[in-house]
Amino acid sequence: MIRDNNRLYDLTDTSSSAETLAEIKNILCLIDPSLDPLPIEKIYEDIIRLFNGEFPGYQASYTKYHNLEHTCSVTLAAARLIHGLHVQGQVLSPRLVRLCLIGALFHDTGFIKTEEEEEGTGTQHTIGHEERSIAFMEKYLTENGFSQEDIRDCSHIIMCTEIFLSLAEIPFNSEEVRTMGKILGTADLVAQMADRYYQEKLPLLFLEFQEAGMEGFETPLELFKKTEEFYRKVARKRMTDALEGVSSAALYHFRERWNIDKNLYEESIKYNIRRMKETVVESLVQLSIISGGGDKN
């Protein structure tokens, strides 16, 4: 039963950055066989170096939830959604396909500390990390010969991962750039909530929230309790309304690429939420037993 519900991760092991890159390149070939994957490969390799502490001027990544695996998972999810739209007949330019994936690779680099920063793990930048990510992306792309138009469009795409930012506030250069922003905003949400080990990783997210000074969660169990509400009232609402249902494109990808007639992201998210609800019930039962046992003594 667990294997069926996690079939998404039987397809590609996103804990392997090499396997994830190979699948992204497969998808790019399905979208456009003439699309050169080398620019994506180079940036992908540099992002791995950055997270591993091998990039000049930066420390290694110390965040346990917003880590390299998350970045790779989001980039793969973005590629899958782009392919799903392609299968549905939407024409997307190679330039913006590349920029969307580049945006995915850079979208959480703002958590990574520079060599000069001494305090914290980088999680203290949770609020506002998107701006730091964009600043790093702008510096990197400028040094690697990208145009100002590319940099501006990529910035607007990354801004769509800021969960409470209205897309109406982003001055997109075209409707196609806006579409790419919707793809990345959706990929960021589905990749983390469909994660095979989402439940196990939530306590790590709780620690990040604590360091960032974010209020509303006193214990990891409280975060578990509120996950379904967050998905229903915030994540799913944003995906449906602001991001205009781009998540449904995943179905067309899985159908075309794997001959699986399901949106595996949606399936995995539902499974994760059911599993967390069971964990909350079990924890409350255990607390009740312990409390009752204490009364007897």
Domains detected in the chain: 2-292 (1.10.1300)
Contacts of 163 (CB under 8 A, 6+ apart): 185, 189, 234, 235, 238
pLDDT on residue 132: 97
pLDDT on residue 4: 45
pLDDT on residue 212: 84
Contacts of 199 (CB under 8 A, 6+ apart): 224, 272, 275, 276, 279
Contacts of 291 (CB under 8 A, 6+ apart): none
pLDDT on residue 280: 78
Tell me whether residue 54 is exposed, middle or buried, using C-beta atoms within 10 angstroms of its C-beta: 0 to 12, 13 to 18, 19 or more.
exposed
Q: How far apart are CA 90 and CA 248, in angstroms?
A: 14
Q: How far is CA 144 from the centre of its chain?
A: 25
Angle between helices 94-106 and 38-51 (to 10 degrees): 0
Tens-level pLDDT at each residue, the chain (297 residues) = 344 445 898 999 999 999 999 999 999 999 999 999 999 999 999 999 999 999 999 999 999 899 999 999 999 999 999 999 999 999 999 999 999 999 999 999 999 999 999 999 998 988 889 999 999 999 999 999 999 999 999 999 999 999 999 999 999 999 999 999 999 999 999 999 999 999 889 888 888 888 888 877 778 878 888 888 999 999 999 999 999 999 999 999 999 999 999 999 999 999 999 988 888 777 666 656 766 654 444
CA 217, 221, 223, 225 torsion-angle sign: negative
Cα angle at 145 between 17 and 52, to 5 degrees? 30
Count other C-beta atoms under 10 Å from residue 267's C-beta. Answer: 18
Nearest to 246 by CA among 181, 175, 294, 195: 181
Adjacent-strand bridge partners of 114? 58
pLDDT on residue 236: 96
CA of 70: how far to CAs of 117, 151, 200, in Å? 23, 23, 14
Q: Decide if 78 contacts 184 (C-beta within 8 A).
A: yes
Report the SS3 class of residue 231: helix
Q: How far apart are CA 47 and CA 21, in angstroms?
A: 12
